Structure 1
């Protein structure tokens, strides 16, 4: 069709265009722009109003890629009437599909052969789209003809302003110089104020050869890297998953025994991070990551004492299957707005782990986009440089300045999680991203075993994943030295003492190891257990805000007193076998352990107290961190209900044009008479109805029948047949 002038027919509104859409087209719009349903608009007019509101427009623009934004910029920049043909001429043939998408998103809409652009879109793009100036209007055609006559110095000015910015400075508009004066006289420049001139939009487009952009971004960057087999990918992922679940468990147990204090500003300090990383033998970045995972999944929380402690949810998690544990962690990572990579990134001051400053609204969206892009090239791993450029192309408005970091962090974290292996999507990652209940991880993991092999060097090898109860018991008396397909445990004086502190006797430790080991207990380990067991409890620390330390061996007491590592306890000898300190029991015990002694805690009754430090749990209610970010894609059920409500609201709105402003009160007899007439003549009524909450509302109805004092009628507002007790109807009127 040939272009028409904007005034050749009445301008169509967005509401009219939406009203003309079928249910499937509206469903596509509502699914893509979930914020339009929160809360549900009353009718199509309200939907159009919300769809054109700046906050909703901004969210919709955030979902566009760079090429789609360029097409939208062209729509804003081109003079009206705007047609598909004019947009294609200014961009490329590929723009046609983009325009269809923009229409489906209600960012622009068709009006016969024209395309209308919402005012909110124009405001968002700005007054000078792609560096083009203001519209000249009717004078533009005449001005363009004079460009070929421009003097060389005037042409130089035009060339400088062609690709923007379109504004230039002059010392005095009254004395602009020969070139500027010629351009002003011929309407090729406009005076903005006494010191500024601007190149009109039509002139700029002409000088650009009818194009809007210097370079079109309609071809995204290729980011394909090295290819692997799925077996190689999954093998790497399984190892990462085993390590992840183990390290989270170890971190929770460590913090149960030595809970880190929370900073006033929130989060935990650098020292606590390093302390935990050293205890687990992991990199600090990895420690921060698993700490954040534990926090967002509610496995750890801030207790009343402003300390970080595991929650009861950790115990439930620990007793779940490996697949269930992993899925909980992965789903938490996929949906969180927290970005652990930001910890320590600020130049102004340190951003703390688990603190309030690492939320980014775009995080989950960009993370999901990263995984989608990686999945698209499976079984290839991505080239990270190309992938970060692709992420920037896909979401140019989201996470500005963070695209490269998010891509790098997501790559690293997905590998740690086992969503990817060797950089490519694992089969378990594919399953969880597809929303499957069974990720297939259980089948890929080695079968649980019930035995270990104790070596002569005080180590034990578990040639597969140990049964949970055995692993928990073994971890009381041995430290994990390495983990992979097989786990290596190391027995030491401190680890045996830990078992004794947790209530195990030397005999019980020997019985347990004899039962689960397929090799006999070597002599060095037997001697170690016996020696530590013999000495355990000889040196005792009494419970209290201040503590006493006693030992029957006076040489041990003197050694403690002389040791520089115990100096801060400010020990005083109050008897040959007793020392006193004003430091609390826990710190006194920890200091003695660090100094190489083997203290035990003594209760007020003189009996040894079991130190079940790994069982400490937060008393306060779990407070998982907030999640900020995008609206979720509405479920099909919600979309179906929303469409029904919108259509019903539209019908009700149409009926309201003939609704009287007031509904006269009526007696029960008058009400029954009016209902009888309306049922016979199939008329639409408006009734005043007393709701169950005591309020009175107006309902637009088509009465069907009255039975036993109850009116059965079709309610236009609810789009369904409802029952209305006649006694609650206090007014009635006919809809014209």
Structure 2
């Protein structure tokens, strides 16, 4: 067997393999590794190995578990030894293909006849590989089939149950230490016979040897092949038109949310999020269920259309971005929401569930934040993107099973739920329809927001410029209305039902709303006369005129502050003063003046002009309204972005750096100089490097970059001066320049 180490093996691989490793496992590349040894040390940590295992399919995980059972962390094994451990008709070629993928991630290393398990993998996969317990070597010398046959039926049922995993069980008899004669229960008898292991006062464990003796194959049933995915073929135009309908509906719901929260913003809970009462009100207002309402609120937050006001009494308020969104075309509105959902680092589907402390999880709360949610959505949509255009999944549970096989460890206990939530949310957004990606959804994944908006615009029906007014004072819009007409109809009528055609209802309150917005009765008559393809009923004309006749007789206004005095002469003096114009004071009664400015400004100006006003509260008592000092608004938390693989250019730089570090580590060094921590005197380094230039010798240098990351390399110094070392890398022939103050050590290389 080979005696090479993983570091030696990885150094012997080509640059393409190292680049693929750093791309597939980006945590190994941050911060930039100085040499191969650093890469191997990072890869061997349990956390890094666990992250790498999250992307493995069921067969690859079975190969790793088989190698753990074969003790491949201690001695090399062969592919031929792994095959019978998995069983279930798996072929050597399938196992070799799985090993090749594991080798690219350096979870295993070596050739097929000399395979070893990388450190960290055993811990990453947990204490029970293949659902088997720890080994009890003494049982290897026992005739286990005969022992098992001699067990009583209750004892046999217990060991068979534990043999198929997990191999531990909780029981009050776990602490039994008596003899077989004193044993009464099946657990006590198995403990006395040495066929169960004592883990703690409440837990027993079945030894690995017993589990293997009771199984048909060492790892038990392993799904070596991906489950079938049943699909249905649809016309692409049908998928796109269905998705466009859902997209329009979602945009309408978000618009209604913005309108309602503009008028009555809900409070932000003390712990953050949207309260149950406000969620139920939103559910009633939008006529959707709570799950859908939570998704709509999350989309508005993710797209930056609403935010926490961060005031003393915080509320969820629309932002200035909401006005930009409302003015956009329907397709661009959708694209904004869809892109926000795709990158949303949150799981809206968690809303309504309870956490480990039995606390209710509500929409917009921090507890719904999951940095890896975008990657999970991309995985689900990527599986649909692999299907042909118009081809959709017949049953969502088929996709759940397929993705669970492809990555059984990804997503934890929420793995299957995340897939279902993603399909449901994508369907509600029009990214998916009839189980298939829409053309706009596919463009969103492949080409970006602009291309997706263009595809959605093509799928959406063209806006219409007319409506159908009915005798019962309902108005039917036979399609999406042109923006100006849609705005006018929203002012004068209420939506009664939406879909392919929208039905509006006109009533006195809605007509009054249009008049409040500044429209006259003549404007409303002209609106229906020019845009209705059906005759305008007389009842509508009479109602508009009747409401307009009564509208505005009683008027109200706003005032920021008021001044009152029992002496009309003093009020008149203030109104006639020069300061009255600056304060925009208006007399509404002989003893009352009002101003649109805040009271504190009015009082300060009057005092500066010789008057002596006092402030009063709602009860008429004098109060102190002087400011209490400056306050800083609360700042929104900035979420750390999800980790992304480095670019190809960055990977190439990292590979070059690692190779340079390897050459430096392998070099024989002669006389050296090292700076102590905090030492700013570089004269020794300068002298050594100048000597290397004069003698034409290579130099080993240790460098710390601007980010504090250390590296080392071998250079042929060309010039030293002006605080800069300029040298050539003999392997790549590249010229490098390093500030002398960043060189922490240097040495001449012995030939």
What TM-score do you get using the length of structure 2 for normalisation? Answer: 0.74
Secondary structure of 1:489's aligned partner: strand
The equivalent position to 1:402 in structure 2, one of 414, 436, 440, is 414
Q: Which moved more, 1:506-515 or 1:102-111?
A: 506-515
Deviations 1:672-730 (A, max 9, x none): 9635524xx3x212579999999999985312357999764226999942356899999
Distance 1:151 1:415 in 2: 54
Give 1:82-101 correspondences, 5 Å limit.
Answer: 82-91=77-86, 92-93=90-91, 94-101=94-101
Residues 1:75 and 2:67 are matched in the alignment: yes
**2:428 alignment partner in structure 1:** 416
CA contact (8 A) 1:666 1:731 kept: no
1:12-23 superposed matches below 5 A: 12-23=4-15
Q: Report SS of the residue matched to 2:489.
A: helix
Which whole-Å CA distance do the structure 2 matches of 1:671 and 1:661 have between them?
8
Aligned pair count reads: 649
Q: Give the aligned partner of residue 593 of structure 2.
A: none
Task: Tell me what 2:584 maps to.
Answer: none
For 2:717 and 2:282, how far apart are their aligned partners in 1?
A: 72
Higher deviation after alignment, 232-241 or 213-222 = 213-222
C-alpha distance in 2, partners of 1:128/1:668?
A: 55
Distance 2:242 2:532 in 1: 29
- Residue number in structure 2 paired with 1:638: 650
Residues 700 and 377 (structure 1), Cα distance of their counterparts in 2 relative to 1, 3 Å cut: closer
Query: Which residue is equivalent to 2:340?
Result: 332
> For 2:179 and 2:152, how far apart are their aligned partners in 1?
20
Please say if residues 649 and 717 of structure 1, whose CA atoms lie closer than 8 Å, have aligned partners that are also in contact. no
Residue 258 (structure 2) pairs with residue 258 (structure 1): no
Query: Does structure 2 conserve the Cα–Cα contact (< 8 Å) formed by 1:340 and 1:358?
Result: yes
- Asked whether the 8 Å contact 2:241–2:460 carries over to 1, the reply is no
**Which of 460, 467, 482 is matched with 1:467 structurally?**
482
1:649, 1:716 within 8 Å by CA — same for their partners in 2? no
Contact kept, 8 Å, 1:299 with 1:313, in 2: the verdict is: yes
Q: 1:488 to 1:197 in 2, by over 3 A?
A: closer
Residue 180 of structure 1 and its aligned partner are, at CA, apart by 12
Is 1:319 equivalent to 2:327 in the alignment?
A: yes
Alpha-carbon separation, structure 1, partners of 2:27 and 2:689: 44
Task: Show the counterpart of 1:443.
Answer: 458
Deviation at 1:56, TM superposition (A): 1.3
Alignment of 1:540-555 (within 5 A): 540-541=555-556, 543=558
SS in 1 for 2:288: coil
Matched, 1:501 2:516: yes
1:61 aligns with 2:74: no
Q: Distance in 2 between matches of 1:433 and 1:121?
A: 33
Q: Secondary structure at the match of 1:633?
A: coil
1:153 matched to 2:150? yes
- 1:39 matched residue in structure 2: 31
CA distance, structure 2, for counterparts of residue 279 and residue 669 of structure 1: 75
2:362 aligned to 352, 374, 397, which one? 352
Which among 381, 394, 411 is matched to residue 382 of structure 1? Answer: 394
Q: CA deviation at 1:387?
A: 3.0
1:478 aligned to 468, 493, 501, which one? 493
SS at match of 1:259: coil
After superposition, the Cα gap between the structure-2 partners of 1:274 and 1:187, relative to the gap in structure 1 and judged at 3 Å, is closer
For 2:208 and 2:503, how far apart are their aligned partners in 1? 72
Would the alpha carbon gap of residues 202 and 19 (structure 1) be closer, same or farther in structure 2, given more than 3 Å must change?
farther
Among candidates 522, 538, 543, match of residue 553 of structure 2: 538
Residue 335 to residue 25, structure 1, CA distance change in 2 (3 Å): same
Whole-angstrom distance in 2 between the partners of 1:725 and 1:506: 78
- Please state how far the C-alpha of 1:446 moved relative to its aligned partner: 2.1
Q: Secondary structure at the match of 2:496?
A: strand
* CA-to-aligned-CA distance 1:1-53 (integer Å, 9 cap, x gap): xxx4xxxx42x333223222222222222222222233222222111111111
Higher relative contact order (CA 8 A, sep 6+): 1
1:304, 1:620 within 8 Å by CA — same for their partners in 2? yes
Question: Where do 1:239-250 residues align within 5 Å?
Answer: 239-250=245-256
**Structure 2 CA distance for aligned equivalents of residues 330 and 242 of structure 1:** 12
Distance change in 2, residues 1:520/1:226 (3 Å): same
Query: What is the alpha-carbon distance in structure 2 between the residues aligned to residue 656 and residue 325 of structure 1?
Result: 64
1:236 aligns with 2:267: no
Give the superposed CA RMSD. Answer: 4.5
Residue range with higher mean Cα deviation, 346-355 or 166-175: 166-175
Q: Is the 8 A contact 1:334 1:364 kept in 2?
A: yes
Offset of residue 129 of structure 1 = 2.1
> 2:674 aligns to what SS in structure 1?
coil
Quote the offset at 1:294 in angstroms: 0.7
In structure 1, C-alpha distance between the alignment counterparts of 2:197 and 2:281, rounded to whole Å: 66
Query: 1:735 — aligned with what?
Result: 749
Secondary structure (helix, strand or coil) at the match of 1:114 reads coil
Q: Aligned equivalents of 2:686 and 2:659: distance in 1?
A: 34
Find the aligned partners of 1:633 and 1:195 in 2 and give their Cα distance: 45
Task: Report the CA distance between 1:88 and its aligned residue.
Answer: 0.9
Once the two structures are superposed, what CA deviation does each residue of 1:488-520 show, in whole Å capped at 9, x if it has no partner? Answer: 333222222222333333334444554545556
CA positional deviation for 1:58 = 1.7
How far has the Cα of 1:121 moved from its partner? 1.3
Deviation at 1:416, TM superposition (A): 0.8
Q: Is the 8 A contact 1:460 1:488 kept in 2?
A: yes
Tell me by how many angstroms 1:299 deviates: 0.9
Cα drift, residue 627 of structure 1: 6.7
Deviations 1:256-290 (A, max 9, x none): 12211112121222222232333333333322211
